[in-house]
Chain A
Amino acid sequence: MPFNILIGVCLSYVIMLFSVAFWAERRALQGHLSFLHSPWIYTLSLSIYCTAWTFYGAVGYAARSGLEFLTIYLGPTLVFVGWWWLLRKLVRVGRAQKVTSIADLISSRYGKSNALGVIVTLMAVIAATPYIALQLQSVTESFTVFAAPASDAAILPDQRRSAVWIAAGLALFTILFGTRNLDANERHHGIVMAIALEAVVKLLALLAVGIFVVWGLADGPADVIARISQAAQPGWALAPGRFASLTLVSAAAVLTLPRMFQVLVVENVDERHLATAAWAFPAYLMAMSLFVLPIAALGLALLPAQTNPDLFVLSLPLSQDRGILAMVAFLGGFSSATSMVIVAAIALSTMMSNHIVTPLWLALQRSPASDLRAVVLISRRLSIVLVLAMGYGYYYVSGSGALAAIGLISFVGAAQVLPAMLGGIFWRGATHQGAAGGLIVGFAIWLYTLMLPSFGTQGLMSAQLLAEGPLGIGWLRPQALFGVPGMDPLTHAIFWSLSANTAVFLGLSLMSFPPPTERLQGVAFVNVFDQRHGPGNWNPSGAEAEDLLSMAQRILGAQTAQAFFEAEAIRQGKQGWLPDPTPRFLAALERKLAGSVGAATAHAMMGQLSGGAQVSVRDLIAVARESADIKEYSIQLEAKSDELAQVARQLREANDKLTRLSVQKDAFLGQISHELRTPMTSVRAFSEILMEPDLPDAMRAQYAEIIHQETKRLTRLLDDLLDLSVLESGHVQLNITVANLHDLISRAVQAASQSGRSGVFTIERDFPAEHMPVFTDVDRLVQVLINLISNARKYCDAPKPVLRIIVRRTGRQVQIDFIDNGSGIEKASQGLIFEKFARLTDAARAGGAGLGLAICREIMHNLGGSIDYLPGQGGAGFRVRLPVRTPENSKVS
């Protein structure tokens, strides 16, 4: 068949896969996930286990070693049929912890240790390298075989060059479909769909070849069985130890191979699919292995001796000129190889990007997370290229060996994760020291005993080292450790690596004590089935309604909590207020509590009482954050309430002041009323008397005079009131002029002498001291002086009343003291005399409404000075203070 047609068919097939993957991706994006939710798709995607190794290599394996090839299918079958509960636990843990890869699983289980993630990733990448090389080799060889018989052998490309193209093509396809979008749970619907299709293609292809062999080349099953017996060789004898080891390793590999973990756990959309896969996947494996031995037997019988048994599947149809069948077989092999490479590359690139590249990039980046998405995508693409490049490198270096032998190297490498994985999900005591120690020791032994020797004696290990051990130390011989010879290299490597791995894992785990995060994660993994699935989905058995009520009362308050419980009890048709702790009720209670104490705290409390769910570190941090928020809020509330209390106090004070003012206003109005009504009374009474006809003229004149005086008194009162109101309002027009203080006092004395009582009243003055200029409202000042002098005239009760006027200048003030020799003012009254209507004596002597001193005080206030009672002077004493002003600064502000 022309090589070009082969390339064309391959390309068409790839384009078809592409279309299927694209279509599935589109459907998934539109939310049409029903077809992906079929357990058959899941089962078919698991068939990724069957790679080119199975498709081509199993026949080669059978041709060389007889039934031993069955171990590769026996291991997974045992796991799926017998250990389905282990798979279920793995899937449950993976979903509960949102695990993205096997490295993530191990890292997450052991206290989210990234070091472990790095170790597992490196191991997985190194262990997968031979496996990827195997696929490249098989595809390349199948190309060669296909093209070889053709006439145009001249254009048969160099095998290694075509391997480069194949690797590059696979890398491209993987990048295009594996890293198109970043999904939180790392699911790739398109890829899964394409792989399921490839699973069908490879099964049908192998069955077609098998049927052709059994009924086309041989005469049915009986003939085939006879031929198998004939083909039996000495190498076909089963070595029980090796058989058991290989079964164990393949059982481990189906769990620990990164690509198997990817389809088994990460891509799993529904845990129930495992139930179908548990029988369907082993059935698929059986169908895949059904015709392996017949093909091997007939290949050995019919094909030339030098034919590579790994390619019997292809060579047999070709030898019979069955071009179409050969093409189908070729596509089956191609499918097996490509699906494995694609999924392995995706799984490995996810691990490399998540555990190595991204943490490194974040550590190197000063400004965090500018565009992590782009970094992740680029790192995944580079990782895919790297994985394929390493596979090609291995293929290039190691040359072409038997496919099965290469695959087993990878199996043993991947199996090293098994102790840490099983210990992680079944043993709470497993620690990250144990896991790391076991992984490193197991992996090192694998490298030393299997991986490095696989490069051949021309490779990394010399024949001498293999034969005599490093530096001639015999017990360190890579294929006979500790002087235990007699095992074949593979069994030897499996035995030592896994037993040392397990021993170190158990030993270090028992010796070390895990930190809290790890203990909590350990509980979460081991007890995954005891945990709730979703938020608020509590296990009802754990919670006692009474405990819940007592907790709820403490948080919600007794009344609210009891009402809440009672309502639920009534809803459930129960007496009293203790309802059954149904999941629905527990979820409702958690929401209710969350309203008071925050979601994290509520969840932690419910977890405590319901049992089962543990409190994770993240929960604790959330609790702490909430508590801080609540504390902050209560501090704010406290500040608010302090503020309110202060406002309330101010309001109370303002109210008291208003009440006082209101009382004062009432008193003031009462006073004014009294002061107005008193003269009115006289006026009315006398005017009525005057209206009487028989009044003597003298009396009439006297009473008219009284009316006259009283009306004058009324006018004076009104004037004073108006004056006071103007002064108090502060809208006084001051007329500032300069004057000699002596002249002003003389004016006041003069004016005061015209009023008040007649009789001897001596005023003592100190004329020289009085001569000073004052800049002030002269009339207002004189008004004050007159008031003080007339008060003295009115109230000084000494037999020989004397008023001394003393002027003194002190600093920037002028003091004018008015001191008489009377009995003065009682101490109790001294504070009252400047108040309005504070007349201390009877009305007759005062002759005023008692506003005089109040007016004086307001005037002095307006002039920038003051007036005070001066106690302890023998008589009544008043001091007037006036600021000394110059014409420049005399303006009153």
Chain B
Amino acid sequence: MLQRNVLLIEDEPNIAEAIRFILQRRGWNVTTETDGARAVAQVDGLSPDAVILDMMLPGRSGLEILAELRARDAHVSRPVLMLTARGQERDRQAAHAAGATGFLAKPFANADLICVLDRMVPPVSAPSPE
């Protein structure tokens, strides 16, 4: 089976570690990035199947990064899951307005994370129709 690639942009090392562990066990190839300023370049370089983007990053906010990605043809439809610790409805709306594919408030259940990502990027190893 082909490995799905995900780029995780998260400044909290412990959270990044937890997500990396959870997704790797589900077969994701996880690359982590803590600096918002390098996030766009990373997406360009890796062309990941999905991007997990924290909303509050030092250097650059997640919403800005998303807006820049959506402005580029290569990333217009790239699945992006926004994470935020400020779980207010306003933040959810801001994320959707900026073009987020999915939204998850911290803290989250690990199963929810997996489920949302599977919906955004269905595993290719899923049983074939024939």
A residues at B contact (CB < 8 Å): 670, 673-686, 688-689, 706, 709-710, 839-844
Contacts and interface: CB of A to CB of B under 8 A. Distances in A.
Given A842-B11, A842-B34, A674 B56 contact: yes
Contacts of B106: 677-678, 680-681
Given A685-B18, A685-B110, A686-B18, A844 B11 contact: yes
29 contacts: A670-B88, A673-B85, A675-B85, A677-B85, A677-B106, A677-B107, A678-B12, A681-B85, A681-B106, A681-B107, A683-B107, A684-B107, A684-B108, A684-B109, A685-B18, A685-B108, A685-B110, A686-B14, A689-B18, A689-B21, A689-B110, A706-B17, A839-B58, A842-B34, A843-B12, A843-B58, A844-B12, A844-B13, A844-B34
Contacts of B11: 842-844
Given A670-B88, A673-B88, A689-B110, A842 B15 contact: no
Interface in B37-57: 56-57
A673 B86 contact: yes
Contacts of B109: 684, 688
A706 B14 contact: yes
A36 B8 CA distance: 118
Interface of B: 11-15, 17-19, 21-22, 34-35, 56-59, 84-88, 105-110
Contacts of A677: 85-87, 105-107
The SS class assigned to the B binding surface is loop
Contacts of A843: 11-12, 58
Contacts of B110: 685, 688-689
Contacts of A686: 14, 18
A709 B108 contact: no
A514 to B, nearest CB: 87
Contact of A678 (B17, B35, B85, B88): B85
Given A681-B106, A844-B34, A674 B86 contact: yes
In the A-B complex, the 4 residue pairs with the smallest Cβ-Cβ separation, listed nearest first, are A685-B18, A677-B85, A681-B106, A682-B14
Given A670-B86, A677-B85, A710-B14, A685 B107 contact: yes
Given A680-B106, A682-B14, A710-B14, A841 B22 contact: no
Contact of A841 (B56, B58, B86, B87): B58
Contact of A682 (B18, B59, B87, B88): B18
B112 to A, nearest CB: 10
B12 A685 contact: no
Nearest to A706: B14
A841 to B, nearest CB: 6
Contacts of B18: 681-682, 685-686, 689, 706
Contacts of B84: 674
Contacts of B15: 678, 681-682, 685
Contacts of B87: 673, 677
Contacts of A675: 85
Nearest to A839: B58
Contacts of A839: 58
Nearest to B59: A842
Nearest to A710: B14
Nearest to B18: A685
Given A674-B85, A706-B14, A689 B107 contact: no
A709 B108 CA distance: 19
B19 A685 contact: yes
Contacts of B14: 679, 682, 686, 706, 709-710
B113 to A, nearest CB: 8
A674 B61 CA distance: 14
B61 to A, nearest CB: 12
B69 to A, nearest CB: 21
A682 B12 contact: yes
A520 B21 CA distance: 111
Contacts of B17: 706
Contacts of A680: 106-107
A838 to B, nearest CB: 12
A710 B18 CA distance: 13
Nearest to B111: A688
A734 B60 CA distance: 41
Nearest to B106: A681
Contacts of A841: 58
B17 to A, nearest CB: 7
B84 to A, nearest CB: 8
A843 B106 CA distance: 16
Contacts of B35: 842
Nearest to A673: B86
A844 to B, nearest CB: 5
Nearest to B58: A842
A723 to B, nearest CB: 22
A679 B106 CA distance: 9
B5 to A, nearest CB: 21
Contacts of B58: 839-843
Contacts of B59: 842
